[in-house]
C-alpha cells in the first residue's frame, strides 16, 4: 500500500554484500514509490555517490572492501547531505550510541522487521537532513545546575561522578525541560502523548515531583524545576552541552 506521506521519487541506495539480503530489501522497498539502487561494496557505493543524487543510504557496516563506519565519517566530513541508516548485526563492536555519534541518522540491528525499515526510511525522508539533527547524536552531556545529564546512557551524573538513574518517563520529561530552559512549559507540551487529557492528568505532576526529588538529592539541585501556578513548569537554569 503506497504511503501518501512518503516523498515520491526519492533515491535510496541499499548497500549490503549479501546479494540475497540486498535483493530482498530492494524487493520490500519496491512497494513504495522510491528509486532504488543496490551496491555490494564500498567501491560501487562511491561510484553511485558520484554519478547519482542519492537521498538515503541503507548501509551495512561489514563490507568486503572496508567498513561502513569510516565511509560514514568521511561523508560527514565532506558535509554530504545524504541520510544514512546504519544496519549491523547485533553484538558487533558498534552499538547504537557509537553509530549515531559517527554520523548515522538512524540505526537498525539485523535481523529487523521489514516494516520497521520502511517506517524509518519514511520518517527520515520526511524529516529531511536540513532539520536540526537530534541533539543526542552530536552531544553527549547536558550541564544544568549542579547536574549533568548523559543524553546517551540516559543517566544523571552528580558533581562527584555518582550516577543517578532515571526511568524512561523521567528522562523524556527532563529532556523536554532541557530543550527549552527558562521557558514555562504547559502540562500538555510536557507529555504530548497524553495531550488530550493532560490538563486534568495528575500523573504529570507525580512525575515532575519524582524528578524534583531526584534532582534535590544534592545541594543546589532543589529549585531547578519550578511550578508556575496555572501555567505549568519551568526549568530555572541555563543548559550547556558538551
Partner 1 sequence: MRAFFGTMAGQIFLILTVGMSVAAIIALLVAEQARHHDFERVRRQRVVASALDIATRLRRDPEGVEAMMAAHNIIGAYPAPEGVALSESDADLEKALMDRIGLQSQPEAGQVPVGLCFPGHEGQKDRAAGLIGAPRPDCWIVRFTDIGGQRRAMALTFPRIAKPPSTIFNPLYLLVIIVASAGLAILVARFVAKPLRRLERAAEAFSLSLDPEDVPETGPEEVRAALSTFNLMQRRARAGFAERTQLLAAISHDLQTPLTRLRLRLELVENVELRERLLADHQAMQTLVREGLDLASSTEAREEWSLIDIDSLLASMAEDAQDLGQPVRFVSGCGGNVRVKPNALTRCIGNLVDNAVKYGGCAQVSCARANGRLMIHVRDTGPGIPADQIDQMFEPFTRGPSGQPGGRNGTGIGLTIARSLAMSFEASVRLRNAEEGGLVATIDIKG
Binding-site ranges for partner 1 (CB under 8 A): 18, 20-21, 24-25, 27-28, 89-92, 110-114, 153, 155-156, 160-170, 214, 217
Which residue, 50 or 90, is less far from partner 1 as judged by CB? 90
Q: What is the DSSP code (8-state) at residue 193? A: G
Q: How far is CA 90 from CA 16, 64, 109, 191, in A?
A: 16, 18, 6, 32
Helix (H/G/I), strand (E/B), else coil: 43: helix
**Minimum distance from residue 214 beta carbon to partner 1 (Å):** 6
Phi-psi region of 82 (alpha: psi -120 to 50; beta: other; left: phi over 0): beta
Which residue, 29 or 75, is less far from partner 1 as judged by CB? 29
Which residue, 33 or 62, is less far from partner 1 as judged by CB? 62
**Minimum distance from residue 114 beta carbon to partner 1 (Å):** 5
Which residue, 182 or 203, is less far from partner 1 as judged by CB? 203
111 prior amide bond cis, ω within 30: yes
**Minimum distance from residue 125 beta carbon to partner 1 (Å):** 21
**Minimum distance from residue 112 beta carbon to partner 1 (Å):** 7
Contacts of 71 (CB under 8 A, 6+ apart): 42, 45, 59
Amino acid at each position: 500500500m503506497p504511503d501518501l506521506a512518503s516523498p515520491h521519487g526519492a533515491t535510496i541506495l541499499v548497500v549490503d554484500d549479501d546479494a540475497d539480503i540486498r535483493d530482498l530489501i530492494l524487493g520490500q522497498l519496491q512497494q513504495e514509490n522510491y528509486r532504488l539502487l543496490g551496491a555490494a561494496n564500498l567501491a560501487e557505493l562511491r561510484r553511485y555517490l558520484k554519478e547519482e543524487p542519492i537521498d538515503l543510504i541503507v548501509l551495512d557496516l561489514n563490507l568486503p572492501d572496508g567498513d561502513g563506519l569510516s565511509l560514514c565519517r568521511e561523508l560527514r566530513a565532506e558535509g554530504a547531505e545524504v541520510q544514512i541508516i546504519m544496519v549491523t548485526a547485533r553484538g558487533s563492536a558498534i552499538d547504537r550510541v557509537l553509530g549515531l555519534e559517527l554520523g548515522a541518522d538512524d540505526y537498525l540491528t539485523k535481523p529487523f522487521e521489514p516494516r520497521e525499515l520502511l517506517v524509518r526510511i519514511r520518517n527520515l525522508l520526511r524529516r529531511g537532513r536540513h532539520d536540526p539533527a537530534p541533539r543526542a547524536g552530536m552531544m553527549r552531556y547536558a550541564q544544568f545546575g549542579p547536574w549533568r545529564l548523559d543524553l546517551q546512557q540516559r543517566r544523571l551524573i552528580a558533581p562527584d561522578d555518582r550516577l543517578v538513574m532515571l526511568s524512561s518517563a523521567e528522562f523524556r520529561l527532563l529532556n523536554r525541560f532541557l530543550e527549552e530552559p527558562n521557558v514555562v512549559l504547559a502540562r500538555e507540551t510536557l507529555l504530548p502523548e497524553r495531550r488530550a487529557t493532560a490538563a486534568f492528568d495528575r500523573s504529570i505532576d507525580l512525575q515532575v515531583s519524582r524528578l524534583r526529588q531526584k534532582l534535590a538529592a544534592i545541594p543546589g539541585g532543589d529549585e531547578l524545576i519550578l511550578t508556575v501556578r496555572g501555567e505549568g513548569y519551568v526549568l530555572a537554569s541555563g543548559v550547556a552541552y558538551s
